[in-house]
Amino acid sequence: MLAGLAYCHHTATLHQESDKSMSSPQQQALLDACEHYFHVFFVQRDAAGAAALATDDITGFGTGADESVYDIDFALHLYQRDIEAMPNPVHYTLKRRKAIVLGETLGLVMGECDWHLTIHQQAVTMHNVRFTLLMRLTASGWKVEHKHLSQPSLAHGDDEPYPLKQLEARAVVLERLVKQRTHELENAHRQLHQVAITDPLTGLFNRIKTDEVLEEELLRQTRTPMPLSLILIDIDHFKRINDDYGHRKGDEVLVDIARLFQQRKRITDCLSRWGGEEFLMICPDTPHRDALALADSLRKLIASHAFSVEHQVTFSAGVASYRAEDGRDSLIERADRAMYAAKRAGRNRVVGDNISPLDP
């Protein structure tokens, strides 16, 4: 890498083979410029600031396969990429630095660097990363013109079992596998939840889901009262269909009824198979009169449909609308009583909980 490693500390330690007083002013200026460059990038994590400390003609090589720099724009791209991936300050140690004056406006700083960082939540120490900075003196001071990093293959300590690139690659693969496994588990959870609330024959919601929705709607009545109606439907003489044609044909009839109901119901309605040949529809924001009309339109739809049995298929329905004193059981009980009133009145009809039938 050209740079770009993360750790929580932000101090830099300098180890030189000779005392600063033994360096010439030009050498010391080169060492100071090197230290400033590393500080801006590793501690401040400032890509633009680091690029400003390089000449427009900067070139260089990092430890990554794609880290070959031939212009300032690509250098800035690598700076930004590393900082975005690991934005926190880096703890680093500069060692064995040496400044060489090559001319009035040209100098070289070489040395070694230890990096202490965290990559993908794994603490890593990189020992003896070698660096060479070719620097040019400009009107604004010494700037980096060429940068070269290399990583000794046998310089890994006990706390650094893998080279950085290998560790990054392994961590990326591991992270991808964890995300993939998490995604699979989330999908499995969603599928299990869907199975738990779905009637396996008709694909409608089952009683468990209907109870949840009804409880939510009743709770909403305590916050924002609005019309709420139930339609309880029972298929007329369904036992005869099973007896005359068999249970497979009976199942086909139930599936067809569920499909027809789905086509006619509104998007806000909750339709479920309540049990056996019974269906329940929860109709939010629906006054009693509108619920009666909806139930009767469903009745006419079923009565006029050609099913795969010779018997005419009809249903009886009871409609009940929410009252202030209602709970779950009382509301369902009133719809149930109205449905049985429709049966007693001759079937193939809809009755409201005020026992006023809508005759066919």
Q: Which residue has the tokens 């109709």?
A: 283
Cα gap 296→113, rounded to integer Å? 83
SS3 content of the chain, % helix, strand, coil (to 5): 40, 30, 30
Q: Among the options 160, 168, 217, 277, which is catalytic? A: 277
- Give yes or no for a contact between 127 and 151, defined as CB atoms under 8 angstroms apart: no
Angle, helices 164-197/207-223, rounded to nearest 10 degrees? 90
Residue 27 · residue 16 · CB < 8 Å: no
Cβ-count burial 301-316 (b if 16+ within 10 Å, e if not): ebeeeebebeeebbbb
List the structure tokens of 284: 């939010």
Cα pseudo-dihedral 5, 7, 13, 16, rounded to 10: -30
- Report yes or no: 70 and 159 within 8 Å, Cβ to Cβ: no
- Return all residues near 221 (Cβ < 8 A) that are at least 6 apart: 228, 322
Q: Which residues pair with 152 in a beta bridge?
A: none
Adjacency order of strands within the sheet including 278-284: 270-275, 278-284, 228-235, 315-321, 350-352, 357-358
Q: Which two tokens stand for residue 167?
A: 């560790």
| Residue 82 CB neighbour total at 10 angstroms | 23
Q: Catalytic residue at 112?
A: no
Round to whole Å and give the CA distance between 113 and 178. Answer: 33
What Å distances lie between residue 67 and 7, 61, 73, 166, 354, CA to CA?
Answer: 22, 6, 13, 16, 81
Q: Give residue 285's Cα distance to chain centre.
A: 33
Helices assigned H by DSSP within 159-206: 164-197
Q: Which active-site residues does the annotation give?
A: 277
